[in-house]
Amino acid sequence: MSLETMPEDWSTALAVVAHPDDMEYGAAAAVARWTTQGKHIVYVLVTDGEAGISGMDPSQVGPLRRDEQIAACQTVGVTDVEFMGLPDGLVVEGLELRAALCEPIRRHKPDVVLSINHRDSWGGPSWNHPDHRAVGRGLLDAVRDAANPWVFDDAGAPWDGVRFVAFSGSPQATHGVDVTDSFDTGVASLACHAVYLANIGGDMASPDAFLRGGATAAGEELGVELAASFEIVG
């Protein structure tokens, strides 16, 4: 498999993911590249990730993870961060989620929408998180909904300017972004989730090593040293 170069002839993007840290596990280096180019990117976090640390009360975890996410965004040049406040681990596909996701699309009017893997798995035996699947699939519907003037008329004026949706880390990746020069910034962005990383353990708790493995493999498919991979839909 080889990756095509992801189009970069756009100016604005809306990144919509389920949890704090989702963008940082693979896509942050690409975001750092794009903000350096002058692109404006807004993050929308569907949940606060309050159920993400075992042994810590969600009432403590939620505010902590919001702060870590804001710091991670600042590291890659993103200053606009929104939190929708849906319950972590309990995001459900359906009309309510579509309407909730439609609103920021219409309000921000992005050229491109970003998210992370919405497929059932990560390409192996590891089953994907239900929130990732629900948000990603709901997002595809919401992009179409945002363009339709006859649905969700309380979510703002229609916007049909989204060129494509790009999912980071998909096992069905189609495109890549050269992040050789911005890789270290992406690592620093993930490292901002310090308390979260200290509590999860395993390979995912080592930002440079974990991210470098995926970026090296994607780079080989793109023909560069390090790359971020995306599945483009649309």
Q: What is the DSSP string of 30-86?
A: HHHHHHHTT-EEEEEEEE--TTSSTTS-HHHHHHHHHHHHHHHHHHTT--EEEEEEE
Q: Can you tell me the distance from the alpha carbon of 98 to that of 146, in angstroms, rounded to the nearest whole number?
A: 9
Chain mean pLDDT for the chain: 96
Q: How many structural domains does the chain have?
A: 1
Q: Can you tell me the distance from the alpha carbon of 74 to that of 87, in angstroms, rounded to the nearest whole number?
A: 25
The range of the structural domain enclosing residue 173 comes to 4-233
- pTM of the entire structure? 0.96
Residues 118/232, Cβ–Cβ less than 8 Å: no
Residues 12/111, Cβ–Cβ less than 8 Å: yes
CA angle (112, 2, 164) in 5-degree steps: 15
- CA distances to 62, 64, 67, 135 from 90, in Å: 15, 20, 22, 11
Whether residue 206 has pLDDT greater than 90: yes
pLDDT in tens, 160-185: 999 999 999 999 999 999 999 999 99
- Kindly report the CATH number assigned to the domain that includes residue 36: 3.40.50.10320
Residue with the two structure tokens 């596990």: 25
- Predicted local distance difference test score (pLDDT) of residue 1: 63
pLDDT above 70 as % of the chain: 100
- CA distances to 30, 121, 122, 218 from 214, in Å: 13, 16, 12, 6
pLDDT in tens, 76-87: 999 999 999 999
pLDDT in tens, 89-143: 999 999 999 999 999 999 999 999 999 999 999 988 889 999 999 999 999 999 9
